[in-house]
Amino acid sequence: MMSFVRVSISVKITVAVILFAAFAGFFGFTLLFSELGPGETFFERILVIGLFYATGGAIIGFFSPSRWMLSLLFSWGAFFMGTGSLMATILLKLPTAFLTAWFFLPVFVSVLGARAGATLRGKFVYRRQRMPRLEEGISL
């Protein structure tokens, strides 16, 4: 007979958040490197990338507010490319400062979005309060 291991709900949520961050991060990675679509401007692409990373970070922060730093995993592609660009700037003395800023921008946006999602979760989640007993009375 197989015995099933009971896993707490917080572990399940954390695993789901990690899987979401890894797979959705791949989509964000392709947004950074794909060519512009027909009729799409560079400003629109920056706006879409910013909204994508902010929304994904907010989802991570909302569902796992105590682990909102997992949003760094969400921006894994931008982080690795920014690190490579920074190393090229320092070691090879290449003028890639704009690329470094471009790649690290989604990292900051996703972390800010995650922090905002964690804050929203704290405001919308019902916190259970102790009901007063009849003997204590209700003070207005």
Task: Enumerate the domain spans of the chain.
Answer: 9-124
**pLDDT < 50 stretches in the chain:** 1
Q: How confident is the model at residue 13, as a pLDDT?
A: 83
Q: Is the pTM of this model over 0.75?
A: no
Q: How confident is the model at residue 134, as a pLDDT?
A: 55
Q: How confident is the model at residue 32, as a pLDDT?
A: 79
Distance CA 22, CA 75 (A): 8
Task: Say what angle helices 9-33 and 76-91 make with each other, to 10 degrees.
Answer: 50
- What are the start-end ranges of the H helices in 34-75? 42-63, 71-74
Distance CA 74, CA 70 (A): 7
Q: How confident is the model at residue 5, as a pLDDT?
A: 62
